[in-house]
């Protein structure tokens, strides 16, 4: 028998490391390689989308999801669209996103006061038609939006943003809007507008966007999200942002609008008003700039004076002043009419030339494209979309400034000069290498490595069984590689690592192990979330479950014999409540677990520049469902793994895999409903770092109750602690294991 054992040991020595360790490490490295490849294949930090002009309504639409058109609005607090019945998930009424959406609702469309008795309650908002100003009561929801990356000159690849918050809208809200649109896209500074939702910090897209509206319905304009470059003159790659001048971008905390302030308004260098105007609104849904009546009359007086000698023609609605276009000269920047300047306090001027001040309305008529906004308008001056056409405007939300180029005609380019032909980069994987095929390759590799691991583990188990009859010291707790001495006897190599007994059982060592284990679990979860977003997609349920399961597997093998590998306050409390874990160690374990989670969340924030809110768990289908599934999932996990955690000295070669499979199973059945926490420390870490505690009680109470119930059920079914006759085979296995420790 000794010779057979020695042969097994010689085989283990030649392999250097256990195969299951190699399998896990190789799988983890393979996963990182695929993740890194996809992330590194996308070096750009700017998004791009085409913009079209509707000839009938003079509104502009942005194209998302390849062919869906949304009306562009600089003022809406959130986007909205027509939702298929029961298709999109509702947002909870007590969520942060609901508060953000409701905070900026228009006073003209308040929410009706109704005390909701429905649980879970749904977030209701009032989307507004920007033209008719009609509104409707609708629910806040989320959906996926696809847009393209760009290198500044061409689109390069597509990226899908999942869970983009917007509102549903009834069909009545589409009146007076372009035909065929899907909804409205908000480009305001609000937290649920597209500029904020398209610029998560881990993606590297800056909180800024540049808009270039087309002057005709036959061509495309362009919208960039991010730092640029913004090239509008292929193939020379001329970055139009080099033409920009800047002024301060103002905002009202109770409104989602953008405002600027001017020092003076002048025509042909002659100021018509020296008093500053601080509340000048920018709008893409108001077609022509409007002035308060007193300002408009003064403006019209100065303009007519500057146009002295040019024949007038019959006015055309909605304009009040028209001229004979054939009597006006033509220049590179449109009709040769007096230039209009918005003069800013920093000495910069936004100059409006003929292309943006005169609207040709057929025949020989050209009308002044500025309108009377009334005696008591909400805003004294509103700059309309006609004055923005073929101008590049950069809305820099981080720096609170507006960049403006004036007419691009001076550079002989237009907003239609961006090349929307997709540019295939050499780093891009072939078409057949998709996310699905990569995932399939990982799964196949995982299956291959698991099969190798099982074969090796069977060899280990065979060795353990035969070694139970050998004369090994029962108190041997030295850790090292097994070697064979010159006389053929089994020996220990104590030069690798040795832990004295007193350190093995110390509370400090256990607490440090728990803190490190929880840190590893949370950091790996944060890493997969961040890396998948670097790839341009959200971490799916399979990725989340696989990461959690693999990490727990490694943790059990690493620290299971030291602290029991709880890494979960609910587990610690459950074993203290049911036994045999001492209550005196519970506070130390819980503090270590929560501390490890907090440290991992903060480290992930620094390393991946990921917001801690991304790591938070939230009820996705109501608080009741989330509470129930968290409780049941934790019950299942604890029932499956109680013997491993409560008796760390009995850890076998398959113990880590059992725990990992249990965790993965729990994530798979709870993830779509509650986010798959099942661990108070898992939810407490991100909550403490972000200082947001929405629905946190669910993720503290439910797992704790489920854990206690799971341990208790296991103890009752296994009759642990009851007087019964032990199974002889079980006693033999225990003696075999004890002989190895």
For 289-345, what is each residue's pLDDT tens digit?
Answer: 999 999 999 999 999 999 988 999 998 999 999 999 989 988 889 999 999 999 998
Q: Pick from 199, 105, 149, 222: which is nearest to 397 by CA?
A: 199
If asked whether residues 96 and 27 sit together in one domain, one would say no
- Cα–Cα distances in angstroms (integers) from residue 298 to residues 261, 265, 294, 648, in the given order: 19, 11, 6, 87
Q: Per the structure, how many domains does the chain have?
A: 4
266 forms beta bridges with 271, 341
If asked whether residues 56 and 117 sit together in one domain, one would say yes
d(CA 245, CA 345): 13
What's the domain range around 223? 49-230
Neighbouring C-beta atoms of residue 55, cutoff 10 Å: 11
If asked whether residues 29 and 95 sit together in one domain, one would say no
Mean pLDDT on 249-258: 89
Mean pLDDT on 545-556: 79
The reported pLDDT for the residue numbered 289 is 96
What CATH number does the domain containing 186 carry? Answer: 2.40.70.10
In a domain, 237, yes or no: no
**Cα–chain-centroid distance for residue 330?**
50
The reported pLDDT for the residue numbered 53 is 95
If asked whether residues 198 and 118 sit together in one domain, one would say yes
If asked whether residues 11 and 133 sit together in one domain, one would say no
What CATH number does the domain containing 643 carry? Answer: 1.20.1080.10
Q: Dihedral sign, CA of 526, 532, 70, 425?
A: positive
Distant-in-sequence, close-in-space partners of 415: CB < 8 Å, separation ≥ 6:
51, 212, 213, 214, 215, 219, 220, 221, 222, 232, 389, 390, 392, 408
* Confidence bin at 719 (pLDDT 50/70/90): low
Q: Dihedral sign, CA of 440, 442, 448, 450?
A: negative
Mean pLDDT on 621-639: 84
pTM of the model: 0.58
CB 276 within 8 A of CB 345: yes
* Confidence bin at 611 (pLDDT 50/70/90): low
In a domain, 190, yes or no: yes
In a domain, 497, yes or no: no
The reported pLDDT for the residue numbered 85 is 64
Name residue, tokens 């290498």.
433
If asked whether residues 474 and 557 sit together in one domain, one would say no
Give the torsion through C-alpha atoms of 444, 450, 454, 460, to 10 deg: 150
The reported pLDDT for the residue numbered 652 is 57
Q: Quick: pLDDT tens for 54-63.
A: 999 999 999 9
If asked whether residues 470 and 590 sit together in one domain, one would say no
If asked whether residues 123 and 259 sit together in one domain, one would say no
Q: Which SS3 state, helix, strand or coil, does residue 429 take?
A: coil
Tell me what percent of the residues of the chain surpass a pLDDT of 70: 72
Q: Quick: pLDDT tens for 45-97.
A: 899 999 999 999 999 999 999 889 999 999 999 999 998 765 667 888 878 88
Q: Which two tokens stand for residue 7?
A: 């042969």
DSSP one-letter code for 475: T
CB 323 within 8 A of CB 313: yes
Residue 452 has pLDDT above 60, yes or no: no
In a domain, 552, yes or no: yes
Average pLDDT, the chain: 76
The reported pLDDT for the residue numbered 271 is 86
d(CA 205, CA 389): 25
Distant-in-sequence, close-in-space partners of 597: CB < 8 Å, separation ≥ 6:
518, 519, 522, 681, 682, 684, 685, 686
Q: Which SS3 state, helix, strand or coil, does residue 135 take?
A: strand
């Amino acid at each position: 028998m000794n010779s057979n054992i020695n042969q097994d040991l010689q085989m283990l020595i030649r392999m250097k490391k256990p195969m299951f360790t190699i399998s896990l490490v190789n799988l983890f490295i393979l996963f990182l390689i695929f993740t890194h490849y996809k992330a590194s294949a996308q070096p750009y930090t700017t998004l791009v989308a085409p913009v079209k002009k509707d000839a009938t309504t003079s509104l502009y639409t942005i194209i998302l999801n390849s062919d869906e058109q949304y009306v562009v609005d600089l003022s809406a607090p959130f986007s909205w669209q027509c939702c298929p019945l029961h298709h999109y998930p509702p947002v909870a009424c007590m969520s942060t996103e609901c508060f953000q959406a409701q905070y900026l609702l228009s006073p003209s469309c308040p929410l009706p006061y109704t005390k909701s008795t429905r649980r879970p309650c749904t977030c209701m908002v009032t989307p507004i038609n920007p033209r008719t100003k009609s509104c409707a009561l609708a629910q806040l929801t989320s959906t996926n939006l696809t847009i393209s990356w760009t290198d500044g000159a061409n689109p390069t690849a597509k990226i899908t943003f999942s869970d983009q918050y917007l509102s549903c809208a009834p069909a009545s809200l589409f009146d007076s809007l372009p035909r065929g649109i899907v909804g409205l896209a908000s480009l305001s500074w609000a937290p649920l507008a597209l500029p904020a939702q398209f610029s998560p910090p881990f993606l590297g897209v800056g909180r800024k966007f540049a808009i270039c509206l087309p002057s005709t319905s036959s061509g495309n304009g362009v919208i960039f999200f991010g730092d640029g470059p913004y090239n509008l003159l292929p193939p020379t790659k001329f970055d139009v942002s080099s033409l920009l001048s800047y002024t301060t971008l103002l905002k009202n905390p109770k409104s989602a609008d953008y405002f600027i302030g001017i020092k003076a308004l002048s025509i042909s260098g002659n100021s018509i008003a020296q008093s500053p105007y601080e509340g000048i609104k920018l709008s893409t849904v108001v077609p022509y700039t409007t002035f308060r009546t007193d300002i408009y009359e003064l403006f019209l007086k100065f303009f007519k004076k500057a146009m002295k000698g040019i024949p007038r023609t019959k006015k055309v609605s909605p304009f009040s002043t028209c001229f004979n276009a054939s009597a006006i000269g033509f220049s590179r920047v449109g009709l040769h009419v007096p230039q209009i300047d918005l003069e800013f306090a920093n000495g910069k001027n936004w100059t409006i030339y003929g292309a943006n001040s005169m609207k040709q309305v057929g025949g020989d008529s050209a009308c002044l494209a500025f309108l009377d906004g009334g005696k008591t308008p909400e805003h004294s001056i509103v700059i309309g979309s006609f004055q923005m056409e073929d101008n590049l405007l950069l809305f820099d939300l981080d720096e609170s400034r507006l960049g403006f180029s004036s007419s691009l005609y001076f550079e002989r380019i237009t907003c239609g000069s961006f090349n929307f032909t997709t540019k295939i980069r050499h780093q891009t994987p072939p078409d057949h290498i998709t996310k699905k095929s990569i995932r399939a390759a990982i799964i196949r590799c995982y299956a291959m490595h698991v099969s190798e691991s099982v074969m090796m583990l069977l060899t280990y188990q065979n060795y353990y069984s035969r070694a139970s009859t050998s004369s090994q010291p029962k108190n041997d707790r030295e850790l090292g590689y097994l070697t064979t001495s010159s006389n053929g006897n089994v020996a220990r190599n104590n030069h690798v690592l040795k832990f004295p007994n007193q350190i093995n059982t110390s509370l400090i060592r256990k607490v440090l192990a728990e803190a490190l284990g929880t840190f590893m679990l949370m950091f790996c979860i944060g890493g997969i979330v961040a890396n998948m977003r670097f790839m341009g997609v959200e971490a799916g349920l399979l990725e989340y479950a696989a990461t959690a399961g693999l990490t727990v597997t490694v943790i059990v093998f690493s620290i299971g014999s030291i602290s029991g590998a709880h890494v979960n306050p609910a587990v610690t409390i459950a074993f203290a409540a049911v036994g045999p874990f001492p209550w005196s160690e519970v506070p130390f374990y819980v503090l270590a677990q929560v501390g490890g989670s907090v440290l991992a969340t903060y480290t992930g924030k620094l390393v991946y520049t990921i917001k801690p809110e991304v790591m938070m768990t939230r009820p996705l289908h109501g608080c009741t469902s989330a509470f129930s599934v968290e409780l049941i999932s934790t019950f299942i996990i604890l029932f499956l793994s109680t013997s491993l955690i409560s008796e760390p000295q009995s850890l076998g070669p398959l113990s880590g895999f059992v725990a990992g499979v249990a965790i993965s199973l729990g994530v798979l059945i709870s993830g779509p409903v509650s986010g798959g926490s099942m661990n108070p420390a898992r939810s407490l870490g991100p909550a403490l770092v972000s200082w947001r505690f929405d629905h946190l009680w669910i993720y503290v109470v439910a797992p704790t109750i489920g854990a206690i119930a799971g341990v208790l059920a296991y103890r009752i079914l296994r009759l642990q602690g009851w007087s019964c006759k032990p199974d002889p085979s079980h006693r033999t296995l225990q003696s075999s294991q004890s002989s190895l420790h």
